[in-house]
Structure formats: C-alpha cells, structure tokens
Structure 1
C-alpha cells in the first residue's frame, strides 16, 4: 500500500468488493494554525515574536479514507515568504514527516529571516497521494508575523503624590498614582511590583502609550516600585526603580473622645468642631475595657438623645472613614451611631439595622449598604465604615475584622451636619441610638486594615501568672502578689538544682530540668491538683489562658484534664488530653446543667511522647470565636456566640466527673497565665516564655 493512502474495500450483495478512490486531505483552517502559541494573525495586524517562531498546524485527512486496520496519516508542507530590502521576494519551505491525521505539525522558521519585516506563511496537507488546498486559498488567509530582535528601553516612572526626591510624603491610607512610560513606541504592557506584593501586569491602551496605576501604602517607611516594559513581541526592558518615603497616616479630621465631665452640654473636639448635646445625652458613662477610652456618653433613644456639630465633618465624595465604640441597650430596632446629613436623608449612616435574619451592624452610603456581625445588648463593639473613592467601594469593620461584603457605592453630593446618635429622614431625624457611644473619629482617607485592628484593640489585662517555682504551706504564689494556687494531695513543686554535674560526679542524681525556670508543678495523676480560690477568667466574656505541660507517660490509659473551670453544675471549660488519638481537646457543654455532656469544640493533634508543650485558649467575644493553640504552630477555632459564665474555681490537673472529681493529670504543669480579653494570635507565642504577651499590645 502506498504510504498515506488508504484503500477501502466494500462488498455488496450485488457483486464483488470495489475500491474507493483516495480523497485529498482537508484544507487547513485558520483557527487550526498558530505562530509561536499565538493564533494565526491575518490582515494588517501581524503577530510580533521575539525569536524566529515555531509555526504549527493541525492537519486532517477525511475520515472516509480510514479503514479499521489502518489510521490516516498526513504530512505538512509549510511555506514562508517576505520582500527583502532590495524589493525581491524571498521564500523558505519545509515538509514535515508523516503524522496521524489531526495532530499538530511543526516548523521552526530558519534564523535567516529578517527582523522588523512582515513575514507571511501558509501550509497545506499531503497524504502521499494528494495534497490539500493551501490554507490561504479560497476563503482562507495567509498568516503573518514580525520578528523583533530589539528589547524596549527602560521605562520612566513618576508620581505627583510620592516624588522620588528623598522627601517624606503623606502617607499611609492615601493613594499614589504612578505613571510608567517607555521611550520605545512598541511597548504594550508594564510588569510592576511593590515590596511584599506579587508581580502585576498592566496593559497600555495602545502601543507606546503611558500607563498610570494607583497604589495605597499600608505601612510607613521607605517604599519602592520596580517596573519593566514589555513590547509587542514579549521582549522586556531592564528594571527601573522608583523609591519614595511614606509618612504615617494622617490624624482624624474630626474626633470626639466623648470623655467630657458628667453634666457637660457639649462634646469637645480633639479635631474638628465641638458637638452640642441634646438633653437626652449623659456624659461620664462606662468605657470598653482595655482601650484608651476612659468614659463615654449614654443616649436615651429619645428625640433629645443626640450630638451634632451643625457642620459637615468631611467631604463624603472623597475617601473617608467613620468609627467609634458602641454598646446598644437594645437591638430590636434600627439605630444610628454616626451619620452626616444630605438632602432628605443621611449621606452615610453607621449603626445597627434589623434584617429578617436578626440585627446586624451596618454602614450605608448613598443607596448601598454593607452589613454583618451580630450586635448584642450590653456588649461593646468597635465599628468602622469606610468609603474608598478610588475603587468606589464601601466596607464595614466590626472589632477590627471586615464583615459582610464590600459594595459599590455612589455618595450624595450634598454635605450637611454631622450627627452622633441619629440619622436624617425625610420628615426629621430617626433611628435614634439607645445605649453608649465612645471615641468617634472621622478620617479623610482610607484607614488601612492594620490601623483598623489597632483602633479596635482591647488590650488584655493580666488576671494572674503562676510560675510554680516554689510553694509555702501548700500554696504557690502568683507573680504579682495576687491570690495563690492551693496545692492538693498528690501535687508538689519540683525544684531543679544544678549543684552537681552527673557527668563529673557519679553520686550526683541525673534529674530532668524544670519545664520553665527552676521549678514546676508535678501531679501524680491520682489525687494531685492545684486550684484557685474562685474563678479566674470570666468565661462569658473575652479571655485568654495559657499553660506549659509535659506528660509523664507517653501512652496514658485514660483522658486527663490540665485546666478546667466549672459553672454551677458542670465544667463550662476544660482542656484535656485524649491519649487514643493524641489530641489535645477543648471541651465545653452546650448548657450549664447537671449531667450535661461535654462537647469537643476544638482539638489539635499533638506528638506522642513526653516533650514540653505550650497550650493556650483564646475566646474572642467580639468575633464569637474560641481557639485552642498548641505550641503556637497548630490551632483549631470554633464558633462560640455565647460563652457560659463560670462560677467555679480554676482547677489545674482535674475536672468535674459526676458529683466529684476525676480525669486527674499525670505530668508536669508550669507557667499558668490568665487574661481578661483576647490575646492577638501574634501575641500567643509569648505565653509560657516569661514575657507578658499583653505588653506587646498597644
């Protein structure tokens, strides 16, 4: 059989088998052709390449030529041509080997093709008996490319907001606009990168056009932009660098601490205009713990419960942020923390809105609203609403975390008076706040996520640190002179001594070092425990607990509890070790009732063995989450909308079992630390190191 030719024999009832004539291959289609992985370019817009390209074509022989025992095979005949500088046409050809029908055929164009010249090409298929039409015959078109052998010149970079002149320029939360331009007229894109970010690519509207990007600095200090130009062929220039200095974010344009003396009739402004207060406003109220706020104002929810500046605080058509601490006295109706008047309604409103699914915090601007979080009566929350004029998007942050989904927003043009505790309606003011408000701020820029976290930070307060270095009369002291831990039978303080060296003195006992420092609590696993005189952390509010532990047995035969604190009927919190899975577990009941089963709300698998481990539990009431940490490298987080209040004493090394005690811990315990408030994740690693984690919070 002739190569590439398929003969089919057909038998019929009327006579002997007959041979069908060979059909020529199909004409290659434009959509099946590529120039160096780019589609075939036809007409006056050739493909630009940075090297002599590889051409490809998928070629087909008719399926009718196929018979069961053989497959159709074809080869490709490529041809490229151009006109040289003397006006003479030049041609190059290439024929591929036979390949299966439908598979791509390739030809890498010779190196002698000229640069900056339009080169055209076409292809046809050959099955060894017949050839197809050329790909540019009939309704087809020739493909074309230009070989570009020159890289573009480096781009220039400029910015009106952040000049490259060694001057410190405003600042975090303020967009800079950086223009990139190359002297080369064939540049179509720029690849750029800021420190800490991933490389980005932006395209020019037309070859040679400059491109401007917006960049929002998130941190103060030296910053740098690296850019290279990309031309039509994919060639890139060398890197250009633009260095600039970013100052810290601007202070608020308006701020009311709302810490004025009781009986005041106006709120002094640290920035902006003082706010007069209605008669339904009471100064000198309680403040959120762990913050710089000392006192707040209480609003009674009536028509007299408001504060106003009688003037705008900021231009809401530009980027701005409004924030404050809020504690609602009720959550069953819409209420406003802060707003600014516009025609017939608020230009923006930050506060609480009721939805079908229940109350939620909200930030509304124009016709757009973003909402999220779960307000609770009597519970403080830090709110921040942000409008970014550069992106046209609005965001809402609750307790330092973004909630809801950012939305596109169009601010109102009119700018009226700033309001605390109410929002403008078509027939007067509405949505009046009932509860407490503190430290209201307005920024005329973007407040970046790191700043939001700091504004919402509630610095944890140490409730006790027991280093368990020594004991007197059965008690081990608290480091700051607070209440000690009482040691029960089977518990003792192990004190390490390095008075002799076993390697040098054969009579010197080989004893292990203390867990932390010079001593730790040793528990026998039968009756040993230590306990405070009462509850240490309020488990219904944000708290943090840390402990250092070491198992005595690498394979205990039962669960063992290292920390627990009971409610009225059962443990509302306990941290235990489950030896069957090597899991450290955080166990809590759903209700504080007699016989209520404990539920494992979070667990982290630990190593099997007797090495030193650091455990921590952090409950953040602001985000309704509780997290179990193991050595700061592993964690498990669970949702906890409502923590149960504990009335029982903190227990080290045992838990409630029925009407008595059990799950006694067999091992060593050290550095028990307790805080009111939730430690940030970055501060948790300091637990058990002798460093106060709360000291790093500011």
Structure 2
C-alpha cells in the first residue's frame, strides 16, 4: 500500500470534530481535479498527466465543522487483478481545498480511477461517484515524452534537396507527423514568423499547415510534438530557401509613344487601345515611370488584351497607378468579367459620405481610402484563395476591412478603364499589373511608394558672405539678425594637455552649426523649399540654450501670406516639441498640433533630431523626435495648402509679424518632396542623406 500523504492545515482550537450527526455533503464532481485537469472519464475525456498525479477536491460539512478527505484509487494490473488503495487526509475546515500527492509507484500508461468522500469523524458522505450526478474520475500517468516529428513539404523542399524555391507570395504546405500515437498538438515556429500551435484531428494524427513567405532568403521551421499529457518531444528542424516573388503574369506600363493604338506588354499580351485613350501623359513623380495613358471617360476609353490577365479562380491581384479627373461618379479602373457581369473590379465609387476606392470580387466589396481629383494614387486589390479573403491596398497601405468571398471565376477579357455596370475611367492610368500570387505587404508598400526627392541639405559648416551653402548647389540659407556659424575645435591642440589651448565647444554635427540668440537671429532661403500642398519631409538637429525657456521657439517654418503652413517649435508651457499646421492660410485659422514631450536641453548634450512628415496620400502629419514617432505623434490632416514664403530657420510668423525666435543651436537641415518612411527617418540628422531605398 502507498504511504499516506497528510495535509498540513491544523484544526482551529475549540472547533469540534463532529458537531452533529448530520453527514458531510457529497463531494461535487466539478470540484475535483487531477493535476489541475477537471474530473472526467472515458477514452477521449480522461486526464492525461505528465507529472506524478496529484488529486484535488473541495469538501463541505453542513455543520461548518472540520472534515477529512478519504480518497480511493483503483486500477487493473497487467495480470488482470484489480488494485485498490485508500488515503485519508488530516482534517480541515469545511469548504477548504484538499490535495493528495499520490506515491511514485502509481503505474504509468494505465487507466487509474478514483473518487473521494468527506468524513467528520462520526459519519461519512457518499462517494463522489455515487448517484446520477456522480462519476469516478480517471487519469493516465504518462512518464514518456513523444518521439520527434517528421516534417515534409512538396512545395518547399529542404535546402539540401532543392536550393531555391519559388517564392514570396506563393503558399506552401508543411506536414508534421510523430511516430507516437498519443500526440495531439504540434508547436511550430518559422524563424521569420509565423509561429503557433495546431491540433491533430485525432491522437497520433498528422497535421498540415499553410505557410506564406513574405520575404526572400533562408528560412527554418522548428517543430515540437506534444502528447495528451503535455509532454513535448525534442525539436525537429527543417531548412529551406525562398526566392523573391515572381514577376506579374501581365503588365502594361502604359508609357507608349503618343499616337500609339496599343500598349506594349511588359508581361502577357499587348493591349489594344480604344479611341478614347491617348498616350504620353504625365507620370507620378518618384515612381520610376516615364509616362502614362489618359482615358477621356467616353465609351472608347479602355484598353484590353482581349483575354484574361490572371486566373481569378485562385489567388490573384490587380493594381495600377491612377489619377482621377473627377470623383463625383462611379468609374472603373480595372476589371475582368464573367457571363456578362463583372466578376472582379477595381474602381472609384462615389458615395454620399465621399468618394472611396473599391475592390469587388463576386458579390462582395472592400472599400477605403479617399480619392482626390487630380491626385495620383496606387490602388491594388488582392484575393487570397487560401484564406478566401479580398483585401484592398491604397498607396501601399491596407485599407478597409478584409471580406470573405468565393472565387470569382471571371474568365472574360481583362479591361483597363471599363467594367460592367460602371462608367469608363476619366483620368490617367499607369503601370497596370496582374499577379497570380499574393502581393505581400512589403511589396504593396514598394509598389505604392513614391520615392522622395532631396530638395536641400544644409550642413551649416560655413557661411561665406553670410550665406550657408546647400550641399548640392541649391539656394543657400542666408544668415540674418546676428545669426552666426559656430566652428568647433580645429584639432590643432588639446585643452586637457595645453593650458593655452582655447576650450571651444564642439558643433552639434560635423565642424560647425548655426547659433541663434533668441531675439533677432535667424536664417532663411530666398524662395520656398517644400511644396506644402503636397507630401513633404523636413528635419533638423536642434539644441536649446535654456533649461527653462521663457517663450515658444520655432526651429523651422514656411509661411503663406497670413500664417505659417507649418512650424516646428518648442512650447515651454507644455515642455513639448510641436508640429503646428493651420488648416488654411488665414490669421487665427484652426491648427492641427502634434506633440512630443521633452524637457529643454539647457545648452547641454547633443540636442535632438527633429523631423516632420506630411503624407498627402494618407492625409496624415507626423512628428519624429530622435527618429521615433508613434500613433500619439500622428494626426489626420486632409488638405495641405501651398505656401509661397521662404524656409525659415529659427523663427515663425505670428499675429505680430516674425517672432518665436530660437535661442540655441541648429544643424543638419534637410528637406524632401515626398513622405519619408520610418526606416528612412532614422538616418536624418546624422550628417549624411538616407538611402531612400525601396
């Protein structure tokens, strides 16, 4: 017989062991557990435990006195004989939890049953297994871990068998199987994601998971098999190599010569052009495109290869650069029809709440984004047959809500600028693409990205004739009001070694920086630098001279006739850097303000790298501090307006004229047309221009 395992709760002094002759209550099955697993019986329900079994119960006495627990455990040994053991705990107060650690000689891989009853020293409750509400609990003690899983994939063979396999955006399937017949789940982890747990349909069954590569390169899948008791196998490893995503199955850049009557296909079949199409139009800046096609909105405003562009019964994506000539009517961008109706359509929809971009697959639609007349946007619709979901990307960002829909089975001709039930496109279209795979988010971002252009980089190292040159020969920053270029030590001597060597402070970056007195000093260009009606990025390194500034101080601004289109300033009353953008060029106009909270420098340290981004495509503004910005530092800003004033460093326009003069140092002023991305911002202010790589 096993040894008794006694509880350690002591009796409360003065409490009787058996207050009356009323028996304790029958233990409830819901209050019983084995190693924290609920009481259950039967092949598929009983508990499987990996550690030496511990039984638990909550026992009650109607009298409120003390009770002990009597546990009975039984099983059938290999010879067919029943084995029973009984264990009794020390008394505890009614309603207390009771636990019993069974001895180590409980046989493994054997169905063990147990029940419990409460005893008050005089009478005993019924066993927990008694009556219609009762049942005996069962468990199996498993002391052996499962064997490792095998991993196979017909789509992505091991790198030792096939070195590179296609590729990003193409689903593969991986099957995991363990020789152990009690494995119920597999824990998997792709090094670059995803990771998770998948359950087998039955113990010992294999499982298959889908995998979508989102970036090229070597990849490793690790798997552990887990049995019913929670025991884990050793780790299995599977190495494979993923190619870059394959090219579109159809593509028309639409950069054909003026007067052409067809569009040459970069992939797929040339597309004939209707009479409402003219080539040689303006291309969106920063995209690498050289020209686009203009569609006049008439019935002949279309292009078509007279064949499907992609098989829409599986995974596919359609996308293009588009610039609408109007937004007050529904217009087709791209479509592929089926049986006289539109199976798939990418379109502009005019709604009561305002125009939106739309992607329709069958009878389901996902919509989002805000089309603007005369403004370029990249629009891409994706249908993922693996998930059964349609998704829309606008300017490289997922928008709207994914919708679940059936495949479209659209076998009709692909059409650019036309769709069944929609008006023809009026506006410009370029770089039309069709894919037979998933376009992953990074690819969508690259397709919809307009590479910013450097407009000016002022390193503020020197100022011959009171003008600090722009690095690439652009307009200089002219110093005024007593502004000076401070030069750091020239390296000819070391103050710590030579007492006669002057102790000259270092510049913020490089050999020099701009010093401003907070009263009249500033620097400015002769003409505007950024077009504040379109996307722009501007940045600088700044250090405040005061620990407690006594007035707001503007670092960068560019004004219209009545107010600044933007200003970057320090607001001492809030201990915050701020990006301030008025909604219109009017004195007292409402302002959108984004803040980053930070105490003033007091002339110490390397200062801060500030950057602001206005993204006209997403209608947002963002303020970065030392390369960082989050949701709290981002705000909506629907319509930037053009400012004709020059770029100002160290002052801003106020109701009383120029003011908010900066007391401190400024360095590394950089300005771009276009919205830099987070990864590009991190390099600003470090003395070099970011790569702006796609």
Give the Å deviation of 1:520. 1.1
**Deviation per residue, 1:441-499 (Å, 9 max, x gap):** 01100011111111111110011111111112221111111111111121111122232
Higher mean alpha-carbon deviation, 545-554 vs 22-31, is at 22-31
1:386-413: CA deviation from partner (whole Å, max 9, x where unpaired): 0000000011011111001101011233
Say if 2:170 is the partner of 1:174. yes
The residue number in structure 2 matching 1:454 is 446
Is 1:154 aligned to 2:148, yes or no? yes
Which residue is 2:138 aligned to? 144
Secondary structure, counterpart of 2:481 in structure 1:
coil
The Cα offsets for residues 489-532 of structure 1, whole Å up to 9 and x where unpaired, read as 21111122232221222122211111111111111111101111
How many equivalent pairs are there? 671
The answer to whether the 8 A contact 2:315-2:436 is kept is yes
Secondary structure at 1:453's aligned position in 2? helix
How far 1:166 sits from its partner (Å)? Answer: 4.0
Paired residues for 1:131-530 under 5 Å: 131-139=124-132, 140-164=134-158, 165-197=161-193, 199-425=195-421, 430-496=422-488, 497-530=490-523
Which residue of 2 is the match for residue 649 of structure 1?
Answer: 646
Between 670-679 and 100-109, report the one with greater CA deviation.
100-109
Post-superposition Cα deviations, 1:138-171, rounded to whole Å, max 9, x if no partner, equal: 2222111111222111111100100112421100
Tell me: CA distance 1:74–1:437, structure 2 relative to 1, closer, same or farther (3 Å).
same
Q: CA deviation at 1:414?
A: 4.2
Which SS does the other structure have where 1:130 is aligned?
coil
Distance verdict in 2 for CA 1:48–1:519, change over 3 Å: same
Worse-matched range after superposition: 468-477 or 204-213: 468-477
Aligned counterpart for 1:590 among listed residues 583, 597, 601: 583
Q: Residue 624 of structure 1: which of 612, 619, 625 is its match? A: 619
Q: Distance in 2 between matches of 1:238 and 1:44?
A: 26
- Preserved CA contact (<8 Å) 2:295 2:428: yes
CA–CA separation in structure 2 for the residues paired with 1:597 and 1:576: 18
Give the deviation of 1:44 after TM superposition.
4.2
Shift of residue 674, structure 1, vs aligned partner: 0.5
Question: How far apart are residue 97 of structure 1 and its match?
Answer: 2.5
Specify the alignment match of 1:572 in structure 2: 565
1:600 CA drift (Å): 5.3
- In the TM superposition, residue 634 of structure 1 has moved relative to its aligned partner by 4.4
From 512, 526, 531, give the equivalent of 2:524: 531
- 2:628 corresponds, among 625, 629, 633, to 633
CA distance in 2, matches of 1:479, 1:472: 14
Q: 1:5 aligns with which of 18, 33, 55?
A: 18
Cα distance in 1 between the residues matched to 2:258 and 2:223: 58
- Please give the secondary structure, in 2, of the residue aligned with 1:250: coil
Give TM-score scaled by structure 2 length.
Answer: 0.94
How many Å apart are 1:608 and its aligned residue? Answer: 3.2
Stretch of structure 1 that moved more, 541-550 or 53-62: 53-62
Q: Could you say what secondary structure the match of 1:202 adopts?
A: strand
Instruction: Show CA shifts across 1:313-353 (max 9, x none).
Output: 11101111111101111111111111101112111111211
Instruction: Give the gaps of 5 or more residues in structure 1.
Output: 7-20, 66-70
| 4+ aligned runs moved over 4 Å, structure 1 | none
SS in 2 for 1:446: coil
Structure 2 counterpart of 1:94: 87
> Quick check: 1:2–1:128 contact (8 Å CA) kept in 2?
no
CA positional deviation for 1:598: 6.2
Query: How far does the alpha carbon of each residue in 1:633-673 deviate from its partner, in whole angstroms, 9 at most, with x for none?
Result: 34511111111211111111111122421111111111111
**Distance verdict in 2 for CA 1:600–1:301, change over 3 Å:** closer
How far off is 1:85 after superposition? 2.0
What is the Cα deviation at residue 589 of structure 1?
1.8
**Unmatched 5+ stretches in structure 2:** 1-13
Question: Secondary structure at 2:445's aligned position in 1?
Answer: helix
Shift of 1:88: 2.4
1:158-209 deviation digits (Å, cap 9, x = unpaired) = 0010011242110000111000111111111111111033641111111111
CA distance in 1, matches of 2:499, 2:144: 79
* RMSD (Å), alpha carbons: 1.5
CA distance in 2, matches of 1:417, 1:4: 89
**What SS is found at the alignment partner of 2:450?**
coil
- Which position in structure 2 is the counterpart of 1:662? 659
Check conservation: 2:385, 2:407, Cα contact below 8 A.
no
Cross-structure match for 1:57: 57
